Amino acid sequence: MCGEDARARLLVDGELAWVHGPRRQELATVIIDDTVRRGDVALRDIAGASPSEVVRVVKPDLDSHTRRGFFA
């Protein structure tokens, strides 16, 4: 992903992010590459996405109090 898109999502190089595809979601390591066009991402080893599909890259919400299991 390009640096501008990563900054908009508050992501830094080497950080984990959710990749939401049409069939599943996976955690992936973010690598910033400014040769990738704005709005595009390059995926490798993500089983839930094909080259022609739309995916979303989202920063994990680790601070939310709505998560169950730790404080419930």
Q: Is the model's pLDDT at 70 over the cut of 50?
A: no
Residue 66 in any domain: the answer is: no
Distance of alpha carbon 30 from alpha carbon 42, whole angstroms: 10
Q: What is the pLDDT of residues 15-69, one digit of tens each?
A: 999 998 888 889 999 999 999 999 888 888 888 777 788 889 999 887 776 655 5
Question: How many distinct structural domains can be found in the chain?
Answer: 1
Structural domain range at position 7? 1-60
Distance of alpha carbon 62 from alpha carbon 54, whole angstroms: 25
Residue 67 in any domain: the answer is: no
Burial class (CB in 10 A: 0-12, 13-18, 19+), 9: middle
